[in-house]
Structure 1
């Protein structure tokens, strides 16, 4: 009886680990999808704002970068 209960416990433990791994993988996939969507929205917003800013700037602004050390 002890052998059977040990085998059952090991099988149940292995099954639980596989289910846990599958859930973790699914959550990571969903998280990466959300992050990709958020990044795309941020990039679209930057492009829209950049066009609007360029239209409102005078001709002499934003053409040269002056640096000194």
Structure 2
């Protein structure tokens, strides 16, 4: 992947935002990785997507039973 695509740091932008994701010293940790905060946020978003999908599936089944 090109550096321009990943914000010029060699990693995805979601993992490079150290200020909100548990920031580490970039001089001490040049490669870096996703912090646990980023993993938790992504997990919550995935869970929310699954719940919304399930809810609308339930609504579809309910409406098809009524009409």
The two structures have a TM-score, normalised by structure 1, of 0.49
Name whichever structure is richer in helix by fraction.
1
Aligned residue pairs: how many? 41
Higher relative contact order (CA 8 A, sep 6+): 2
4+ long deviations beyond 6 Å? none
Paired residue secondary structure (1:10): coil
Q: Which residue number corresponds to residue 44 of structure 1?
A: 58
User: Unaligned regions of 5+ residues in structure 2, if any?
Assistant: 1-24
Equivalent residues in 2 for 1:9-28, closer than 5 Å = 10-11=27-28, 14=29, 17-18=32-33, 21-22=34-35, 23-28=37-42
The two structures have a TM-score, normalised by structure 2, of 0.50
Name stretches of at least 5 consecutive residues in structure 1 with no aligned partner.
Answer: 1-7, 54-69
Higher alpha-carbon Rg:
1
